[in-house]
């Protein structure tokens, strides 16, 4: 991987440990069945980010937000590959950020999140930021230029919608 932009290289170096922590968090639960290690996921996401030369990364939070979307795409590609290789592959589950509410089927979560993107793109982005990038309410409020209470309210609403959708 070659990173031409010094600012992008600085972002990767400065936040790589956090990037790997996010990958470990995403791969908790049964996601280990995907046969991808957190370091591999972090590397694959970093390569994809820096292959997008047209993207102008604007700091840590933008970097982590973009990495969340890319990690989600990589995980879903890996899950599809696993399902294609094993016709009867068991479901792969992960956990909600902060635990609670039991395990989540990764494929069902992706489908619900895709549906939420069509209904409410802002809340879908919030879920990606919390779930896949591991951003805090404070960090999301800073990215979005809104108050922490607004982010908390939107997170509760998005989470409630996802739980309802996943119970169907």
Q: Helix, strand, or coil here: 90? A: coil
CB 132 within 8 A of CB 68: yes
- The 10s digit of each residue's pLDDT in 17-61 is 777 777 776 666 655 667 777 778 877 877 777 776 656 666 666
- pLDDT category at 114 given cuts 50, 70, 90 is very high
Q: What is the DSSP letter of 99?
A: S
């Amino acid at each position: 991987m070659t990173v031409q932009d010094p600012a992008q290289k600085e972002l990767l170096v400065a936040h790589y440990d956090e990037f790997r922590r996010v990958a470990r968090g995403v791969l908790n639960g049964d996601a280990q069945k995907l046969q991808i290690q957190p370091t591999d996921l972090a590397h694959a996401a970093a390569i994809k980010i820096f292959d997008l030369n047209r993207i102008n990364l604007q700091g840590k939070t933008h970097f982590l937000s973009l990495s969340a979307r890319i990690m989600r795409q990589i995980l879903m590609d890996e899950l599809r590959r696993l399902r294609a290789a094993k016709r009867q592959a068991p479901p792969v589950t992960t956990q909600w950020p902060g635990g609670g509410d039991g395990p989540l089927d990764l494929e069902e979560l992706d489908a619900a999140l895709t549906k939420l993107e069509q209904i409410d793109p802002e809340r879908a982005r919030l879920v990606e930021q919390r779930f896949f990038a591991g951003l805090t309410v404070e960090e999301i409020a800073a990215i979005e230029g809104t108050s922490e209470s607004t982010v908390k309210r939107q997170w509760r609403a998005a989470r409630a919608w996802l739980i309802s959708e996943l119970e169907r």
